[in-house]
Amino acid sequence: MGLRFVEDLRHLNPSHFFSEEQGLEKAVLEIISRKDIDHVVFVDVCDIGSGPGEIAFLETDSVGEEITTHKVPLSVLMALIRKEGKKAHLVGIQPKSLDFGKDVSMVADASLKRIEDVIERKLR
């Protein structure tokens, strides 16, 4: 879901949307090194303990190590970003299923579209 978010919105400002395709950890290292970035927002599906399609805006301290499908937990990556004086957040969307390889449900897809619409309005 995070990949699609970046693909859908990268045209707004290509230098400020990072994809995990080349490695999330590599993207975070680039973000840390850039002086022109002070806020980082991760967007992905995760179990936030609510109904499918629900959205949560999570601060660094509320992201546990279990929220990850990556080599390094998002909580660790967010802590590294924060240590560099930048703000890090996670916009989590509750999926219908957390089973690996399952298609994104229509309700989670609609939630992603709502998030994209808000971001697009803010960046135009």
Of 121, 63, 27, nearest to 17 by C-alpha is 27
pLDDT at 55: 94
pLDDT at 58: 83
pLDDT at 62: 62
Whether the CB-CB separation of 79 and 21 falls below 8 Å is answered with no
pLDDT at 45: 85
pLDDT at 66: 52
Averaged pLDDT, groups of 10, the chain, 124 residues long: 88 88 84 93 87 87 57 83 92 83 82 93 84
CA–CA dist 102, 13 (Å, integer): 30
pLDDT at 36: 94
Query: Which domain covers residue 69, as residue numbers?
Result: 2-123
Number of domains making up the chain: 1
Domain containing 23 — which CATH number? 3.40.50.1450
Residue 81, SS3?
A: helix
Q: How far apart are the first and last CA of the chain?
A: 22
